[in-house]
């Protein structure tokens, strides 16, 4: 079981200050891979994949900065979109 929850901000201390994966948002953790979402230099989203074993073993290098409010907003918007007439057809 991961120590992160969906929507947690993850600080990667291995990444340098200008590296776009320095801070990402946790999405999910599987047996071998953990997936996060980050912003590139053009502020476009991209997926970051880590080995789950690295995330779990190197606790001092992958730090939980807390939950992002944006995750709750995104979840709410997706739930609301399910009720749009175009979706219910």
Q: What is the pLDDT of residues 55-89, one digit of tens each?
A: 999 999 999 999 998 888 988 998 999 888 887 66
- Which pTM value belongs to this model? 0.83
CA distance 2 to 84: 34
Question: How is the chain split into domains, by residue range?
Answer: 8-88
Q: Which residues contact 65 (CB under 8 A, 6 or more apart)?
A: 8, 9, 10, 11, 23
Average pLDDT score over the chain: 92
Grade residue 52 by pLDDT with cuts at 50, 70 and 90. Answer: very high
Model pLDDT for residues 18-40, shown as the tens digit of each residue: 999 999 999 999 999 999 999 99
């Amino acid at each position: 079981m991961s120590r992160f929850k969906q929507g947690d901000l993850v600080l990667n201390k291995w990444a340098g200050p200008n590296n776009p994966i320095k801070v990402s948002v946790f999405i999910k953790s599987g047996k071998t891979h953990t997936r996060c979402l980050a912003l590139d230099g053009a502020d476009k989203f991209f997926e970051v994949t880590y080995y789950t074993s690295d995330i779990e073993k190197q606790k001092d290098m992958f730090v939980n900065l807390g939950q992002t409010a944006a995750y709750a907003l995104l979840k709410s918007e997706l739930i609301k979109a399910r009720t749009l007439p175009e979706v219910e057809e």
